[in-house]
Structure 1
Amino acid sequence: MDNTVDSSRPSIFPASEQDGSYPRPQLMRPVWADLSGEWGFRFDDNDEGLAEGWQFNPVFDRRIIVPFPPESPASGIHDTGFHSVVWYHCEIGIDDLKEAGLGSQGERLIIHFGAVDYRCNVWLNGILLGEHEGGHTPFSFDATAALTKDRLTQSLVVRAEDLPGDVAQPRGKQDWERDPHVIWYHRTTGIWQPVWLEAVPRVAVETLSWHPDLATSTVKVAVTFNRLPRPGTVLKVDLTYKGVTIGDLAISANRTRVEGTISLARQTNGQDYEQLLWSPETPRLVDATVTLSDGAGARVDAVGSYLGLRSVAVEGGHFLLNDRPYYLRSVLNQGYWPESHLASPSADALRAEAQLIKDLGFNATRVHQKIEDPRFLYWTDRLGLLVWTEMPSVFEFSRTAIRRVTAEWTEIITRDISHPSIVTWVPLNESWGVQHIAHDNAIQNYSRALFHLTKALDSSRPVVSNDGWEHLDSDIWSIHDYEASGPVLRERYADAESARKLFEGMGPSGRRLRLSEEPDRGQPIMLTEFGGIKFQTDSESLDDAWGYSTAQSAAEFQAQFRTILEAVHASTILAGYCYTQLTDTLQEANGLVTPDRTPKLPLDVLRAIITGIDAPLDQKYTLESHDRIADPDPTFAPA
C-alpha cells in the first residue's frame, strides 16, 4: 500500500502566522474540516438512551449549534436546568470528508474533540469509537474502520454525561446549584470546544512538544507517532525565523516515540542570542516543519508548528524571564461570555481577549478555574502575554477526586507544555476541594504530590502549590487579599519586615499563608488576587450584583482603583500582582470591563493606573480591530 502523501496537497504555511481558527495551533496540517454548526440534540433526563439504542437510531427532536453548551443562548437551546445526560447527532457528508483530505490511499480519518464536559461516548454509524473522561482536555478517535462506503452521509453520535451534583468532578466555577450564586456560574454541559475532521497518513505524527534550553543553545523535540514507522523512516525537523534556517535535525524514526536535540548555532554568540528570545515585549516565534520520510526519501507525513525561545525561573525573591527579573502585571480572567458562556463566541473573540488584556497595560493573565481554548494560547504566544494555567477545582477530597484531578491535570500539561506564553502551573486554588488541608495529613500529602507531579511532568516552569494561602512547598508564595483600603495594603506589603509579620501570623481572610517550614529557595511573593471593586454602569445594573467592595460612580471607581494599584506598586517585596478581574461575569460586577468587553473607564486611564505610567495609548481597543500584530523584530537580519 502506498503510504506517501499526495504531492498536490498544500504546503505547510508558517504556523506562527496562522489566522487563529485552527483548533490545534502547534501541530498543523494544511487540510481539515470544521464540524461546527447545527447538530441534532436531545436531553436524556431519564438516562434511557443507551438502553433504547439512540446511538443506532438518532432521531433527536431539537437542534443545537455546536460547539456552544446547551445552557448558553448561542447554542439555540438556552436551557440552564439540570440535565445530566445529553445526546448529539451530526451527519458527516461527502464534502466534509473531501474537505478533511480523505481520499488518498492509505489515509485514515481522525475525529477530534477539543473538549466535552464531562464524560462522553462517541459512535460512528453505530460503531463505538471510544469514550473519554475529563471536561477540559482534547481527545480523538480513528474512525476509518467505521466508515460505510455506500452511504452518502456518516452518522456521528455523541452521548455526554455531566452530573450537576458530582463535586468530585473537576468543575471550576460551574455551579452545582440550579442557578448561579455568589461567584459560581452556569454549568457547561457537553461539547464546548471545536469538533473537527482530519485525514492523516497510515503512519502519522500524533503529538509534538518543544523544550528550549537557553543555557545550551538547544531545543529538544519529542514526537510520537500513531503507529510504529517502517524500517528506514526518517524524521526531519527544520527551525526557521523569518524564513531563515536557524537549526535542523534528522534522526531515525525507529520507535513510536522519538526525541532529538537541535543545536542553534547562532545562539552561541552570547552578545547576539537575545535577538531570538521570546518575551511579552518581543514575542518572537520560531517556525518548525516536521517531516516524516520513508527509506526512499518520499514524504510520509508533514506538520507545521512553532515555538518560543525563553526561560522562566524564580530566584532571590524575583520571577525571572530569560534569566532577568520580570515584574508581572496580571489580571484574573474567567474566560466567560454572556452569549456562549465558557465557550468562545468565535475564534476571533479569543484574539480580541488577549489584545484587550495587552491594551489595558497588563503583561500577564491568570486564566481562573478554566483550561482555555488552545486558540487563545496561540494569541498569547503571538501577541506576547504571559499565562498562569490553573486546574479547575473539585469540591471534595476523595479517592475519586484524586484520580480525576491527577489524570486530567496530566493531560492538560501534556497538551500545553510547548506554549511559550505559559509560565506558571497552578494545580490548586484557595484550598478548594482540600478545605481541611491545615489539619489533615492525607490532604497535605496530596498537595505535595500534585506539586511534585507537576514538576515531574514539566521541570521548566514554576509551580504554585495552592494559590492564595495555606501553601506547602511552592515556587511562589502567592497571596489573595481583598483589603479595600489602599493605605492598609501599602503598609501590609511595604517591605521585608511587613512580609515577615504577614507570614508569621494569620494572613488575609484568616488563613495561614504557609503550613509548614518548607525550604526557602528565595521564592518571590506575589499578590495574586486583590481589588474586586464592584462598579456597575447604567447599562448593566443588576439587583444581585456582587463584588468585594463597591464604588457608586465612575469617579469613585477610578479613585479606589488608583489608590489600591498605587499601594501595590509602592511595595518593595512584591514580584508581581494579579488584579481581580478582567470582565464582569453574570452577578460578579467587579470587572474592569463590562460583559461585552466595554471598558468602565477610558482605556488610557486604566492603562496608566495599571502600568503606573501616565502615558496615552497610541491606538484604542475595539473588539473589531484587526491587523494589530506588530512585527516583534523588524531589524532581524540573517547571521
Structure 2
Amino acid sequence: MPITQADTTLPPNPQFRRDGWIDLCGSWGFAHDDADAGVAGNWWQRPEVFDRQILVPFPPESELSGLRETGFHPVIWYRRAFTAPALQSGEKLLLNFGAVDYAATVWVNGQCVGSHEGGHVPFSLDVTHALSQGEQVVVVRAEDQPQDVRMPRGKQDWLEAPHSIWYHRTSGIWQPVWLSVVPDLYLTDIHLVPDLAHARVRCDIRLNTVPTAATTVTIRLSAGGKPLAEQTTLLDDAELGFDIPVPQLENGVHRDYLLWTPEKPNLVDVEVVLGGERPDRVQTYLGLRSVGVGAQRFLLNGLPYYLRMILGQNYWPESHLAAPSPDALRREVELIKQMGFNGVRIHQKIEDPRFLYWCDVLGLLVWEEMPSAYAFSSSAIERLSKEWMAAIRRDKSHPCIVAWVPLNESWGVSQIADRPDQAHYASALYHLTKALDTSRPVISNDGWELVESDIWSVHDYAPDGAGLTSRFHDQADIEAMLTGMGPARRRIVLGDRELGDAPVMLTEFGGLSYLPKQGEKWHGYSTVADPQEFEERLRDIFTAIAAMPHIAGYCYTQVTDTEQEVNGLLTAAREPKLPFATFHDITTLPAASLPHEQIDNARRKARLAAQDPTPID
C-alpha cells in the first residue's frame, strides 16, 4: 500500500509494516517496587500486587499516565491481559516494545520470555512458546535507577526535581506495545541506502535465523504507482547485502523528479517478500537522496544546501518524552516547517519512529543525537555504544536523517581535552558510526572539543548579532576560533587536526527567553521583555548569520518552552510567541554562503513586484 500524507492510523514503526498488528496500549495494572522485592516475591504470578492502573505508553511521572508521580521509584511493574490471535502452523507471535526506560524483563503466562537494556530503542520477543489456552497475561518489570549517571539519560534529571536545563524523568514504558504475527522464518531488518552516483540502491537484510534451505527475497520499488525496479535474490544465510539497479536514475536530468528534498519529499514505496512455505511480507519506503559535505558546504543530492535547523527537545508537559498522541508527532513537524525551518536537531533523544515518518513524508531534515550519560566509566561506554548501535540499526533507512551525533558538549567526557581515554572514546564513536553507515556525516561531539568530525559544529549563545559576527564572519576569525578557544571557553577542535574542507555550522545559538513568569525558576541564555524586543533581537541575530559567507547552516535554540527552559519560539502548549509569518520571514533570509539563494531571492522579489506567478526553477 503506498505511503500517503492522508494516513491517519499509523503502525508503531511506519517504515517497517506488516498487516494485522495488534495494539496493546491502554490501561495496564501497575505497582511500585521501591524495596525491589518483586523478583523474590514472584510478582509475575501475583495479580493482586497490581492494585493500580496506568495508561500505557505514558510514563508514570506524567499526567497522561493517570499517576503523575515524579519521585524516585527505581523499579516499577506492569501487568495486562490480552487475547492472542489464532496462529497457523509455521507462525510465531512477537511481543514488541517501542521503548522501555531503562531495563526491562518480561513474563508471559508466568514464563520469562526475555529482557532488554536501553531506554530509547525497541525490542521484540518471541512469546509463542509461552502462550496458553484462553486469556494471556504479560508482566513487565522496568528498572530505571534515577541517580545513575552512567546510563544514557539525555535531559532526564538525576535530581528529584528539575533543575537548570534538565527535566522530569520518563521511566518505564513510553512508546507503543504491540503484537505481530510472523512466519517461522522472518525479516528483522531492511536497510535501504541510495547510491545516486551509480543509479542503484544498496539493500541489506537480516533474518531471525539461518534458513534451513535456500530461499528467495524479492524487492519491488515503485513511485507514484509505477514500478521502478524489481529484483529477486537467493539467500541461504541470515544476512545478505546486494545492489538494486534503478535505471531511471541514469537520466541525470529526469532523475530530479524522483529525488527527495525537504521542498519535494518524494518517497519510493518498497515491498519486500521473503519466500518460504509461509512468505513474510513487509512494506517500507525510501527517499532517493544523498547527503555529504564538501567545499565547506553541506551537500544534498550533490548540491550545496543551507541547513536552517531548530533544536527540538520533543518534550510535552503532559506526557514528557512520550508524545501525547500520534497526531502530536505530525503537528510538531508541521509547526517547525511553518516557522520556516528545513531541519530539526532532536536533542538528547532517540525519537519515536512515527515522528521520523512525518519528517520523511512532509520533508524535514533531522540530526539524530544519542542521549548522553554524565559519567565516564567502562559501564557508561558499554551502555551508550550498544544503545547507539541499536538506534542506528532502527533508523538507518530514514531519508530525513542527514547526520549522526553520538556526543554533545562533552557530556559524559567532561575531561576530553586532557584525558586521552576520553578522546579515544569520542574518536571510537565517530568511527563506529561511520562503520555502521558511510552515507551520512558524523559529528563526534557537537558544540566544542571535537575530535574527528565531518562538520565543525559550534555552540555560541552571544546575545546579539554583533557578537556572532565577530567570531563567524571572516574566515581568519573562524579559523582562529576553531584552533583556539571558543565562545564557551572551550577548545573547539582538539589536537593538530587539519580543518580541511569540512563545513562550519552554528549548531546552537539564540535561546532568547521571552517573558518568564515572575517568581518561578526558569532558564534562558538571554532575556527579552516584550514582543517588539523579541522580534528585534531575532532579526538582529538571524540577519547577522545570514550574512556570514563561510557558515553552512545553523540550529536555533529551541522549538518550545520546556519545563523551566523558557526559550522556545513556541510555548509549551505549542502556541507561537510571534506570528508564524514573522518567524518564517526571519528564518528564511537568503544565505550569503550560497550565492544562488541571493539570486533566487532577487528574482522572486522582482517577479512579485511584477505580479508574475511563474515559479522559480
- Report the TM-score when normalising by structure 2: 0.93
* CA drift at 1:541: 6.0
Query: 1:114-133 maps to which residues of 2 (within 5 A)?
Result: 114-133=98-117
Query: Which stretch of the first structure deviates more once superposed, 271-280 or 174-183?
Result: 271-280
The answer for the alignment partner of 1:134 in structure 2 is 118
Encode CA deviations 1:195-237: one digit per residue, 9 max, x unaligned: 0001111221121110110010001111212233343522111
- Structure 2 CA distance, aligned partners of 1:56 and 1:521? 62
- Structure 2 CA distance, aligned partners of 1:270 and 1:252? 31
Which residue, 84, 97, 103 being the options, matches 2:74? 84
The aligned amino acid for 2:498 is P
The aligned amino acid for 2:198 is T
Query: 1:388-467 maps to which residues of 2 (within 5 A)?
Result: 388-467=367-446
* CA drift at 1:415: 0.6
- Structure 1 CA distance, aligned partners of 2:479 and 2:285? 43
2:147 is the alignment partner of 1:168 = no
* CA drift at 1:286: 0.3
Query: 1:551-566 maps to which residues of 2 (within 5 A)?
Result: 551-566=528-543
The answer for the alignment partner of 1:320 in structure 2 is 299
Give yes or no for contact 1:249–1:261 (8 Å, CA) kept in 2. Answer: no
- Structure 2 CA distance, aligned partners of 1:506 and 1:235? 54
2:570 is the alignment partner of 1:580 = no
Encode CA deviations 1:9-62: one digit per residue, 9 max, x unaligned: xxxx22455446211111111211111100000000000011111011132111
Give yes or no for contact 1:532–1:547 (8 Å, CA) kept in 2. Answer: yes
User: Gapped runs of 5+ residues in structure 2?
Assistant: 591-617
The answer for the alignment partner of 1:478 in structure 2 is 457
Encode CA deviations 1:556-614: one digit per residue, 9 max, x unaligned: 1111111111111111111000000000001011000000100000110111011127x
The count of aligned residue pairs is 588
Query: 1:126-275 maps to which residues of 2 (within 5 A)?
Result: 126-149=110-133, 151=134, 153-275=135-257
Which residue, 490, 500, 505 being the options, matches 1:511? 490
- Structure 2 CA distance, aligned partners of 1:172 and 1:396? 12
Give yes or no for contact 2:515–2:527 (8 Å, CA) kept in 1. Answer: no
The aligned amino acid for 2:548 is S
The aligned amino acid for 1:327 is Y
With over 3 angstroms needed to count, the CA separation of the structure-2 counterparts of 1:546 and 1:520, relative to structure 1, is closer
With over 3 angstroms needed to count, the CA separation of the structure-2 counterparts of 1:112 and 1:239, relative to structure 1, is same
- Structure 2 CA distance, aligned partners of 1:605 and 1:22? 36
- Structure 2 CA distance, aligned partners of 1:505 and 1:476? 17
With over 3 angstroms needed to count, the CA separation of the structure-2 counterparts of 1:578 and 1:147, relative to structure 1, is same
The answer for the alignment partner of 1:356 in structure 2 is 335
Query: Which stretch of the first structure deviates more once superposed, 248-257 or 352-361?
Result: 248-257
Give yes or no for contact 1:360–1:610 (8 Å, CA) kept in 2. Answer: yes
Give yes or no for contact 1:16–1:286 (8 Å, CA) kept in 2. Answer: no
Which residue, 2, 26, 31 being the options, matches 1:14? 2
Encode CA deviations 1:311-357: one digit per residue, 9 max, x unaligned: 11111110001000000000000010011000001111100001111
The aligned amino acid for 1:427 is P
The aligned amino acid for 2:547 is A
- Structure 2 CA distance, aligned partners of 1:536 and 1:397? 38
The aligned amino acid for 2:368 is T
- Structure 2 CA distance, aligned partners of 1:408 and 1:468? 22
- Structure 2 CA distance, aligned partners of 1:532 and 1:266? 45
The answer for the alignment partner of 1:632 in structure 2 is none
Which residue, 17, 42, 51 being the options, matches 1:28? 17
* CA drift at 1:395: 0.4
* CA drift at 1:479: 0.4
- Structure 1 CA distance, aligned partners of 2:473 and 2:280? 57
Give yes or no for contact 2:359–2:400 (8 Å, CA) kept in 1. Answer: yes
Which residue, 35, 38, 41 being the options, matches 2:27? 38
* CA drift at 1:545: 2.0
Q: Secondary structure at the match of 1:52?
A: coil
Q: Secondary structure at the match of 2:422?
A: helix
Q: Secondary structure at the match of 1:428?
A: coil
- Structure 2 CA distance, aligned partners of 1:165 and 1:305? 39
Give yes or no for contact 1:333–1:365 (8 Å, CA) kept in 2. Answer: yes
- Structure 1 CA distance, aligned partners of 2:267 and 2:4? 6
Q: How many percent of aligned residue pairs carry the same amino acid?
A: 51
The answer for the alignment partner of 1:378 in structure 2 is 357
* CA drift at 1:253: 2.7
- Structure 2 CA distance, aligned partners of 1:236 and 1:203? 15
2:65 is the alignment partner of 1:75 = yes
Encode CA deviations 1:168-196: one digit per residue, 9 max, x unaligned: 00000100001000100001110000000
User: Gapped runs of 5+ residues in structure 1?
Assistant: 1-12, 614-639
- Structure 1 CA distance, aligned partners of 2:451 and 2:282? 42
With over 3 angstroms needed to count, the CA separation of the structure-2 counterparts of 1:551 and 1:255, relative to structure 1, is same
Encode CA deviations 1:271-316: one digit per residue, 9 max, x unaligned: 211111111011000000111223xxx7612111100111111111
Q: Secondary structure at the match of 1:48?
A: coil
- Structure 1 CA distance, aligned partners of 2:151 and 2:278? 44
2:604 is the alignment partner of 1:604 = no
Give yes or no for contact 1:73–1:339 (8 Å, CA) kept in 2. Answer: yes
Which residue, 300, 308, 312 being the options, matches 1:333? 312
* CA drift at 1:536: 2.9
- Structure 2 CA distance, aligned partners of 1:572 and 1:554? 30
Which residue, 66, 70, 74 being the options, matches 2:56? 66
The answer for the alignment partner of 2:615 in structure 1 is none
Give yes or no for contact 1:16–1:306 (8 Å, CA) kept in 2. Answer: no
Give yes or no for contact 2:90–2:278 (8 Å, CA) kept in 1. Answer: no
Query: 1:521-532 maps to which residues of 2 (within 5 A)?
Result: 521-532=500-511
The answer for the alignment partner of 1:594 in structure 2 is 571
Give yes or no for contact 2:473–2:549 (8 Å, CA) kept in 1. Answer: yes
Which residue, 279, 289, 293 being the options, matches 2:271? 289
* CA drift at 1:103: 3.1
- Structure 2 CA distance, aligned partners of 1:609 and 1:226? 50
- Structure 2 CA distance, aligned partners of 1:103 and 1:408? 32
- Structure 2 CA distance, aligned partners of 1:559 and 1:448? 41
- Structure 2 CA distance, aligned partners of 1:384 and 1:541? 39
Q: C-alpha root-mean-square deviation of aligned residues, in Å?
A: 1.3
Encode CA deviations 1:495-536: one digit per residue, 9 max, x unaligned: 212212322431111111111122333110000000000013
Encode CA deviations 1:112-140: one digit per residue, 9 max, x unaligned: 00000001100000100100000000001
Q: Secondary structure at the match of 1:342?
A: coil
Q: Secondary structure at the match of 2:318?
A: coil
Give yes or no for contact 1:20–1:351 (8 Å, CA) kept in 2. Answer: no
The aligned amino acid for 1:488 is G
With over 3 angstroms needed to count, the CA separation of the structure-2 counterparts of 1:479 and 1:212, relative to structure 1, is same
Q: Secondary structure at the match of 2:393?
A: helix
The aligned amino acid for 1:202 is D
With over 3 angstroms needed to count, the CA separation of the structure-2 counterparts of 1:278 and 1:80, relative to structure 1, is same
Which residue, 521, 524, 542 being the options, matches 1:544? 521
